[in-house]
Structure 1
């Protein structure tokens, strides 16, 4: 997984502070702003991998209802902001064209890992390299399945809390990194992750003072809606 050696700036859902989240516009904006990596969320719907965070469409589109209650055609017809549509994983990766690594978060179970693995396997058989991708999830069984299906692609464990066994799950999954919620940053957890030789990324960090504090704590990077703010901090 390619990353800046000092502090990795990951565009959260593209660059959702500048453009509608998880859209092609947001992802391209994140790259143009200089993100070292961009992050997206994927769900499996009717055999297609679509890029959307919520299980409902209400917050991020002009539609209403659960994602799984709408047809693929209905989802694709929605306005996700500024005339953008809900993209597919394939459309996102075609847009990125290997310019930066893409963190693909598995938002749903029940076959999402298998579908993502199949899609990435096809790209690897063409001309892509494993380091162009990072697959992460809170759904650790799904992440484990992905690891079994495509072990050459790095994975990241997502945590929203401090486990009793610290970062043991990351060791069990052989994860490249652990992505922590900014609400649950714990120095002992960071130390455990780093002692295992894994990277620590924190989400979602938008204020420069928080970026500075986390960098001083030894984290390896942040997910941010404003990649330009983090890059300015690095430059200073």
Structure 2
């Protein structure tokens, strides 16, 4: 009969062999203004595997902006959609950075990392993002280097009809009654869930359905290690450097 210590060593070896994806949240918002080119470049320099950016469609452009309003992250006021493109171009999004477009972000990234595009608006956002990503795929970007996600699942479903080769991430802020069932029904490749709702049964169900499970937004190193040990596949973090330090080089892809 094998001893408990031998079983524990084997369990640690299996955990250490699993890939663990570090996703820079809004770039690296712990180090630079969120959703700016500076934040994205910082995340890449810190070693993130992927960057996550928020996108809204307005006035013919796809703007990198999380909030529907400008007040928190720029020197502007009111709804983003209340301002024409020319006015948005003049705003300061922090440290002298402007509000970039999705195309500007992708041109900066140049396939150095994967890109999670979160749809933050609806009624046309899916169509505009699909048209943009289609051009980059035609120029040589692998479709699997993109992940399109949203809490607005009907908008995510619309995107799937437009560009089915790009993987989807279903965003949840709770644990559904059918566990990961809805994400699987949607045809998503990842289930992205808030840290406060991580559940061992949800992790197991996601994996049984062939889904990766990513957790947002995790900045504490002890919590990062705990989630890795629980079996999650990756985290969104404001500090990619902390996540890399927490899980160690032995789990890097």
For the aligned pair, the TM-score class normalised by the smaller chain equals over 0.9
State yes or no: 1:226 paired with 2:243: no
Aligned residue among 163, 166, 174 for 1:153: 166
Aligned residue among 39, 48, 60 for 2:52: 39
**Shift in Å, 1:70:** 1.2
- 1:166 is aligned to 179
Would the aligned equivalents of 2:214 and 2:233 in 1 still touch at CA under 8 Å? yes
SS of equivalent residue, structure 2 residue 93? coil
- The more displaced of 48-57 and 181-190 is 181-190
- 2:74 is aligned to 61
- 1:97 is aligned to 110
Provide the aligned length of Structure 1 versus Structure 2. Answer: 233
SS of equivalent residue, structure 2 residue 147? strand
- 1:50 is aligned to 63
- 1:106 is aligned to 119
- 1:39-78: CA deviations, max 9, x gaps? 0000000121010000000000111111111111111111
Tell me how far apart the structure 2 counterparts of residues 154 and 20 of structure 1 sit (CA, whole Å).
27
**Shift in Å, 1:235:** 2.0
> Runs of 5+ in structure 1 lacking a partner?
none
- The RMSD of aligned alpha carbons is 1.1
**Shift in Å, 1:32:** 0.3
Greater radius of gyration (CA): 2
Q: What are the equivalent positions in structure 2 for 1:1-236 lying under 5 Å apart?
A: 6-235=19-248
SS of equivalent residue, structure 1 residue 10? strand
Normalising by structure 1, we get a TM-score of 0.96
SS of equivalent residue, structure 1 residue 9? strand
**Shift in Å, 1:234:** 2.4
- 1:149-183: CA deviations, max 9, x gaps? 11111110000011111111111111110000011
> Runs of 5+ in structure 2 lacking a partner?
1-16
